[in-house]
Amino acid sequence: MRTLSVDYRPHSAQIRAHTAPEDTVLFAGGWGSGKTWWLIAEALRLTVDNPGRAGVLVSPTFPLQRRTLYRAIVDIFPEAKRWPTGAANARDCLGPLVKDWSASDRVLTMWNGAEWVFGSADNVSSLEGASYSWGCLDEPRLVRAEAWRIFNARIRDPKSKQLRRALAGVPSLGWMWDEFGKPHPKRTVIRASTTDNPHLPPGYIEHLNLSDRLARAYIHGEFVVLEGVVYWNYTDESIVDVKPDPTKPTFGMLDFGGRKPYFGIVQDHDCGEVVVEEVVAANVLESRHARDCAEHLKRLGLTMLECYCDPAGKSRNSMTGLSSFRVYEDAFRSAGVLSGSMQHPRGPVERHIPNGVEATRCMLQDHAGTRKLFVATALTEQSRTSRYPEGTAGVHGGLMGYRYPDKRQHTNEPLKDGINDHAMDALRYYVVARHGVVEQPDIAALNTSLDNSDSTQSHDVGYGAGDLHLGDF
């Protein structure tokens, strides 16, 4: 039997996860702990156990799958050079473990006739109707409970050696806690810390951009109970004496909010990004609020480069036939206060509320103490905030009052109280649409010992090479 050299030498937590006897294994790891590599190696192990049978590999979205699972496969598979495209031969691209690749069906046929079917949790139709002998789910924290239930139910091939479900990702409250937070006879959680991986380049943890409390999840792979104030790192140090300046880059942030719309103005100053002005309203038509916002910008002599807002604003109003996007954009264009465009978070990962909250929290202060997002002193003064309509809050009040539900344990979504959430939603749209969600640093980019001239393949990025005998599985 042929022996192949594979760039995967598992550390202790990965070995424990591979050898766990339970039907369902959650490899709960921090960033850089080897979750994706473990998932692909686990898929290989299950492929050996189930020749000629189909397994499914699911990611939150297909684009994320291409960035993570596809890349890990190219890194791990012996003699792999790149992911096959066009008429390229799959075996030539991915090496001797692969027989064929169908891009239209997203099916990889392996050396022993087994199939790897790639699915997206964002497109649940890609999971419906089939039966699989095993399944791998990447980044479950970005997956909705419905997709998890469908994935779980699809692992039902009666000819499977073991109906194994392998999950790998940063643990998060919500359905992950409901499913894995308590002991279950056929499930186990193997926790891995970023520090468990001896193959990471120097300085990897220092490059992480995390809020202090969430670092326990993203570095140490722990379930972190979120309670109390959402933005606990918003303090007096987040408040700066800065005034609107027409010479500074200017951006808008907008929550349409039904009858309680919120509009904030953010500028790039020397200290960082500062919310310098806002228009807080209640019981007002959005056309009137849009004009008020445009007039306020004009009085201040400000022109927005972009305005970031709720993606739901693209829907048309059944009465007027106009979308909220159009109402505000027309008002801004007419007043000459928008030079760019109306932007919004686009993909499901960016629209996932906990992702946006953590990205905002990291801007306020990351785990290393760095602050990048501030609020102008004028927006915190009681002489101003006391004049806001009853039942509303500006950005300062929202940051102080936005909370997790008191009576609903183990949720990672803040309370929608109709008061603080409008300004906080607008702030989240701004952070995510302008900066994106929090992502782990690229290991290859940080490892200066690697030759990164060929972007289609990286060698020895995560682990030392080892000899893999397919019979050893």
- Per-residue pLDDT band at 384 (split at 50, 70, 90): very high
The whole-number pLDDT of residue 207 equals 60
Burial class (CB in 10 A: 0-12, 13-18, 19+), 31: buried
Separation of alpha carbons 81 and 117, rounded Å: 21
Q: How many CA atoms within 13 Å lie on the side-chain side of 211?
A: 23
Report pLDDT for 455. 32
Question: What residue has token string 């959005």?
Answer: 286
What per-residue confidence (pLDDT) applies to 317?
59
Per DSSP, the residues of 176-216 read: HHHHHSS-BTTEEEEEE-GGG-TTSPTTTGGG----TTTHH
Complete edge-to-edge strand list for the sheet that includes strand 262-269? 239-240, 373-376, 272-280, 262-269, 250-255, 304-309, 338-343
Indicate the SS3 state at residue 384. Answer: helix
Rounded Cα–Cα distance for residues 339 and 321 (Å): 25
Of 445, 467, 455, 385, the residue nearest 32 (C-alpha): 445
pLDDT in tens, 164-218: 999 998 887 778 888 888 888 899 999 887 777 776 666 665 566 555 566 666 6
Q: What six digits make up the tokens of 137? A: 């789910």
d(CA 393, CA 255): 13
Determine the pLDDT at residue 224. 60
Residues in Cβ contact with 88 at an 8 Å cutoff, skipping those fewer than 6 apart: none
Residue 288: which pLDDT band, with cuts at 50, 70 and 90? very high
pLDDT at 46 over 90: yes
Strand 250-255 relative to strand 262-269: parallel, antiparallel, unpaired? antiparallel
- Cα separation, 355 vs 218, in Å, equals 12
Segment 108-113 mean pLDDT? 95
CA neighbor of 175 nearest in space, from 425, 439, 413: 413
Check residue 442 and give its pLDDT.
47
> For 438-466, what is the mean pLDDT?
39
Q: Is the pTM of this model over 0.75?
A: no
Q: Give 229 or 213, the one with higher predicted confidence.
A: 229
Q: pLDDT for 300-354, tens place per residue?
A: 999 999 999 988 876 655 555 678 889 999 999 999 999 999 998 887 778 888 8
